[in-house]
Amino acid sequence: MSLSAYDEISVRHAREILGRAELVDLTDPMAAAGTIGELKVAVASLLVVLDAQSSDEEATR
């Protein structure tokens, strides 16, 4: 599975967001809401990467 430069950046960004999410005080509603928003963006980016990889694999069959 080879990733494009854009995909590698998306994966790296998602990992950074996940790392920051682990440090958030979830008893603070504003911090929790911001973290949830960031995680949604990260998941959406990763789904785009995975969907592209899946399409590439199907095309090569």
In angstroms, how far is the first alpha carbon of the chain from the final one?
A: 14
The per-residue pLDDT for 30 is: 95
With contact defined as beta carbons under 8 Å apart, do 10 and 48 qualify? yes
Look at residue 5 in the predicted model and tell me its pLDDT: 85
pTM of the complete model: 0.69
Domain boundaries of the chain, sorted by first residue: 5-56
**Residues 16 and 38 sit within 8 Å (Cβ to Cβ):** no
Per-10-residue mean pLDDT of the chain, 61 residues long, equals: 81 89 91 93 90 75 66
pLDDT at 61: 66
